[in-house]
Amino acid sequence: MREGARPNAVRGGGVLLAILVLVVLVPMVWGFGLAFRSNEEIARIGGLSLHTFVPVQATLDNFSRFFAAVSIGRVLGVTVFVCLSVTVVSLMVNSLAAYAFARMSFRGRSLFFGLIVATMILPIEILIVPLYRVVKDAGLMNTLASLIVPFAASGFGIFFMRQFFAGVPRELDEAAVIDGCGRTRYFFRILVPLARTPLVTLGLIVFLQQWDSFLVPVTFISRTENMVLQVAINNLYAHIYVNDVALLAAGMVIGAVPVIAVFLFTQRYYIAGITTTGIKG
């Protein structure tokens, strides 16, 4: 509240903010807390007391059960591999294109850029059926490539990096020419290091987006050995352990903790990315 606000408004606003803190935190504390109690205990919760939130007898048993049920090493390996691959490859592919659109003149530039930017308004959900057909015709069904290759470039990533490259002073180009630096070398040796902040921001957005990805892997991957974490959690519920709330809660914790940690350590970059572009992870 700015100075001079009426006390009533201040109080009303303060109450709303406090309620929202509870609305945000209480479900998470309760839900993630389920991971540390047995199913018998969860079944006895009922009513409200301290033990609605605090385990009577805390246990890590659910985590070992979850790790065994999904073969945690393989699932995490696959998930991290896919997230990192998409992040690294798309940063390279998008930056290259973004640089060309920002700083090179060539025939068809506006047309290509317009087409690429236009794809930003298309949610993947709308295109899942024809995308499935492309992936199938390319023989990529059930492969990790089906989760990586289609996301190796994006209109959003190109647009985001172009904004940065367009702002680099032209004098830098000229200095590079005078020093006899070729364009490819100029790009990799000078511009890319200069673009560290936007690259980290975009990388974070892409990584978290991939970690969150569900529609694509649930549609393209049915083989257990190529399953990513979010699908593995869902499949536990769908196939075997419908009533095993404690087990699924452990899966929820494993699914959420890494991204919460990444967010808390990098929120400066992450929020900067959102506020400059308005694109959700």
Partner 1 sequence: MSAPRHTAFPGAGGIQPYLFIAPALLVIGLFVLYPVIDLFYLSLCKANILGRTRFLGLDNFAALLTSLDFANSLRATVVFMAVVVVVQTALALVVALLVESESRFMGTLRTIYFLPVVIPFVVASFLWKFIYDPDVGLINSVLQFLHLPRTGFLANPSQALGSLIAACVWKAWAFFTMIFLSGLKEIPRELYECAAIEGARPVQRIRWVTLPLLRRVLLFVIVVTTMDSVARVFTPVFVMTQGGPRGVTDLLVYYDWRTAFRVGDIGFASAVAVFMFLFVLVINLVQLRLGRERDA
What is the torsional sign of CA 194, 86, 162, 101?
A: positive
* 247 contacts: CB under 8 Å, gap ≥ 6: 62, 65, 66, 69, 236, 241
Q: Is 67 in the site for partner 1 (CB under 8 A)?
A: no
Q: Which of 57, 68, 239, 275 binds partner 1 (CB under 8 A)?
A: 275
Q: Is 190 in the site for partner 1 (CB under 8 A)?
A: no
Q: Which of residues 68-127 bind partner 1 (CB under 8 A)?
A: 93-94, 96-97, 99-101, 103-106, 109-110, 112-116, 119, 121-123, 125-127
In this chain, which stretch among 55-63, 65-73, 188-196, 261-269 interacts with partner 1, using CB under 8 A? 261-269
In this chain, which stretch among 13-21, 63-71, 80-88, 192-200 interacts with partner 1, using CB under 8 A? 13-21
Return the H-helix or E-strand segment holding 215.
helix 215-220
Q: What is the DSSP string of 52-113?
A: GTS-SS---HHHHHHHHHHTHHHHHHHHHHHHHHHHHHHHHHHHHHHHHHHH---TTHHHHH
Return the amino acid letter for 162: R
CB of 203 to partner 1, least distance (A): 16
In this chain, which stretch among 55-63, 64-72, 147-155, 194-202 interacts with partner 1, using CB under 8 A? 147-155
CB of 147 to partner 1, least distance (A): 12
In this chain, which stretch among 61-69, 80-88, 195-203, 247-255 interacts with partner 1, using CB under 8 A? 247-255
Q: Are 72 and 66 in contact (CB under 8 A)?
A: yes
Structure tokens at 193: 């290091």
Minimal CA–CA distance to 160: which of 191, 213, 222, 203? Answer: 203
Q: Is 65 in the site for partner 1 (CB under 8 A)?
A: no
- Which residue number, 79 or 226, has a Cβ lying nearer to partner 1? 79
How many amino acids of this chain bind partner 1 (CB under 8 A)?
106
Q: Is 129 in the site for partner 1 (CB under 8 A)?
A: yes
Q: Which of 70, 83, 86, 208 binds partner 1 (CB under 8 A)?
A: 208
Q: Is 34 in the site for partner 1 (CB under 8 A)?
A: yes
Q: Is 24 in the site for partner 1 (CB under 8 A)?
A: yes
Minimal CA–CA distance to 223: which of 109, 123, 146? Answer: 146
